[in-house]
Amino acid sequence: MPDQKQTSIAKFKNKEALIGIVGLGYVGLPLMLRYNAIGFRVLGIDIDDSKVAKLNAGSSYIEHIASEHISQARNSGFEATTDFRRASECDALILCVPTPLNKYREPDMSFVINTTNALKPYLRAGQVVSLESTTYPGTTEEELLPRVQENGLIVGENIFLVYSPEREDPGNANFETRTIPKVIGGHTTGCLEVGIALYEQAIDQVVPVSSTKAAEMTKLLENIHRAVNIGLVNEMKVVADRMGIDIFEVVDAAATKPFGFTAYYPGPGLGGHCIPIDPFYLTWKAREYGLHTRFIELSGEVNKAMPEYVLSKLMDGLNNSGKALKGCKVLVLGIAYKKNVDDMRESPSVEIMELIEAKGGIVAYSDPHVPVFPKMREHHFELNSEPLTAENLAAFDAVVLATDHDKFDYELIQNHARLIIDSRGKYRAVASNVIKA
């Protein structure tokens, strides 16, 4: 009887394997395109009927992924389905599903668990199951391992289990799926070998670590590093502002040091699926070990306070003009969580909009990447993006620059806005209508 591990490895090396991508969002879709581009057959599995229908029609629903690329993938064998039974056809099942926090800021593992449970009846010998969703150390062992083995399969012998965290950076033109090194940990050495065979076809550099836990912790360290440093520079911003110093000038000057300093810039708060959420996975898990992660929680507090800080600057600016926020018209510029993308997840801009509305302000927004305010689980605005014209800008009592998209005409904004609350440091020169926030 042939060795199952070697048979699986050979399938990936010969590109005979069918790659199953479960979850076709910001992580799953680029991964699908990469495997398709190098000659693999790819099956996409998602619970969202509308996403599956769009993909099968050759259309994209993510701005920075062109429909042309989806159409090319369809023409070369890619297919999307909502039918989890088809997982049995796949040689690899790569899970790219959300891992949000619940209202108590604890990990919500329901997407991972429900997806694994849905796949469980269709797992078979020879498959490799890879979790890419960001999560706490121990998830793969505690949640996936028992479910994968429930029907008699043995991980490391006839089915293989790995954790390999996603590292997508939507809108970053300097990196793509292929060029971002891929960390991977296996439940056993055999699992790791099969996992490497899966990923080394598609990714330039694969970085093996000793366990799934180490791989899970690696992803958290990357994002906690960023969250803590952004928390630090946001706190420095508040101090610098009180002292009459421009923090952006200070960061730029410090960044000229060729060693020992990495530039992080302040903003209106943290956004995206990773940085505002991932640190809390570790703080939650650390409690199980009797540990209190003070640095992580402190940076979380500082970053969480930034939308309120922007609101206070807006209220101060209006107050200086003899106006109260209540009844004032405020235009929020940029509601995606970062520049040049259409991704709204955890965007601090939306929290700023809610804070303005709660104080009686009349809020509107302009974002060239988000023409209509999308349906969101927790945020509800019936709004369309406002056109940026001289007349329209002048009609608002204030504009809040929340996300610094390159498509904005910053000169037009400065020339015609009555008051600008700049949370991104776009306006460096002192101006009578600009307040730095």
- Closest of 245, 158, 197, 156 to residue 9, by C-alpha: 197
Helix and strand numbers (H, E) in the chain are 16, 13
φ/ψ (deg, to 5) at 429? -75, 145
Report the pLDDT value the prediction gives residue 274, as an integer from 0 to 100: 67
Q: What is the pLDDT of residues 370-397, one digit of tens each?
A: 999 988 767 789 999 999 999 999 999 9
Residue numbers in the chain where pLDDT is lower than 70: 1-2, 272-276, 377
Residue found under tokens 């206070």: 312
Examine the residue annotation and report whether 96 is marked as an active-site residue of this protein: no
CATH number of 246-437: 3.40.50.720
Q: What is the pLDDT of residues 231-265, one digit of tens each?
A: 999 999 999 999 999 999 999 999 999 999 999 99
CB 124 within 8 A of CB 53: no
Q: Looking at 90, 96, 191, 274, which residue is catalytic?
A: 274
Cα dist. 204→197, 199, 200, 207 in Å?
Answer: 12, 9, 7, 10
Report the pLDDT value the prediction gives residue 1, as an integer from 0 to 100: 47
Q: Percentage of residues in the chain with pLDDT exceeding 90?
A: 84
In whole angstroms, give the CA distance from residue 269 to residue 12.
Answer: 42
Residue found under tokens 């039918």: 83
Report the pLDDT value the prediction gives residue 101, as an integer from 0 to 100: 81
CATH 3.40.50.720 domain extents, the chain: 4-214, 246-437
Q: Which two tokens stand for residue 317?
A: 């600016």
**What's the CATH superfamily of 4-214?**
NAD(P)-binding Rossmann-like Domain (3.40.50.720)
